């Protein structure tokens, strides 16, 4: 119990990595954590693209201005929504919350295993969506939400203390 809480509080974005590779067994643990997230009506509208090709990582990092750290990361996972598994009508946009919950679980698993990562945004920027679609050859019903470069942190990191009692409202506003 205390361990999960300290993992949550220790997590912070990591944007530079050593050259160390991440073993397949750890990649699977990270994906298992991602897919343990809750989803609306249990739709699980997600897909995960695991990128360990140095040339693809370099290409993505070169084309996405806010994901430059992907260029030299040993790994990235792209969390995507699958339109064929989404709810319909006004409920469709639940996929964003579902895939965001998966992303946070993924980031926490990365932290728990001693690696570092950063959430870099793709959706809803249409230019970034097109770039990721083209580079990864995604079919049109697959919407990339983010690109998460992952690796062994190259530097010590200090989590920000974002706890702010003023943001808490008990009972009514």
Q: Tell me which residues touch ligand FMN (CB under 6 A).
A: 12-13, 15, 66, 118-121, 160
Minimum CB distance to ligand FMN smaller for 38 or for 65: 65
We find the least distance from the C-beta atom of residue 15 to ligand FMN, in angstroms, to be: 6
We find the least distance from the C-beta atom of residue 17 to ligand FMN, in angstroms, to be: 13
Minimum CB distance to ligand FMN smaller for 66 or for 141: 66
We find the least distance from the C-beta atom of residue 60 to ligand FMN, in angstroms, to be: 12
We find the least distance from the C-beta atom of residue 172 to ligand FMN, in angstroms, to be: 28
Minimum CB distance to ligand FMN smaller for 160 or for 172: 160
**What per-residue string of b and e applies to 54-86 under the rule 16 or more CB within 10 Å gives b?**
eeebebbbebbeebebbebbbbbbbbbbbeeeb
Minimum CB distance to ligand FMN smaller for 43 or for 68: 68
Minimum CB distance to ligand FMN smaller for 88 or for 156: 156
We find the least distance from the C-beta atom of residue 25 to ligand FMN, in angstroms, to be: 26
């Amino acid at each position: 119990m205390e361990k999960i809480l300290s993992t949550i509080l220790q997590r912070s974005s990591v944007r530079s990595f050593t050259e160390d590779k991440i073993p397949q067994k750890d990649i699977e643990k990270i994906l298992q954590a991602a897919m343990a997230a809750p989803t609306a009506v249990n739709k699980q509208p997600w897909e995960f693209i695991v990128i360990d090709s140095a040339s693809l990582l370099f290409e993505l990092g070169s084309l996405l201005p806010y994901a430059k750290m992907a260029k030299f990361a040993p790994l990235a996972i792209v969390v995507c929504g699958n339109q064929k598994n989404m709810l319909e009508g006004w409920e469709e946009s639940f996929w964003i919350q579902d895939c965001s919950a998966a992303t946070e679980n993924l980031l926490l698993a990365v932290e728990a295993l001693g690696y570092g990562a950063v959430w870099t945004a793709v959706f809803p920027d249409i230019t970034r969506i097109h770039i990721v679609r083209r580079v990864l050859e995604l079919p049109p019903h697959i919407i990339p939400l983010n690109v998460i470069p992952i690796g062994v942190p190259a530097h010590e990191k200090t989590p920000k203390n974002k706890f702010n009692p003023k943001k808490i409202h008990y009972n009514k506003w």
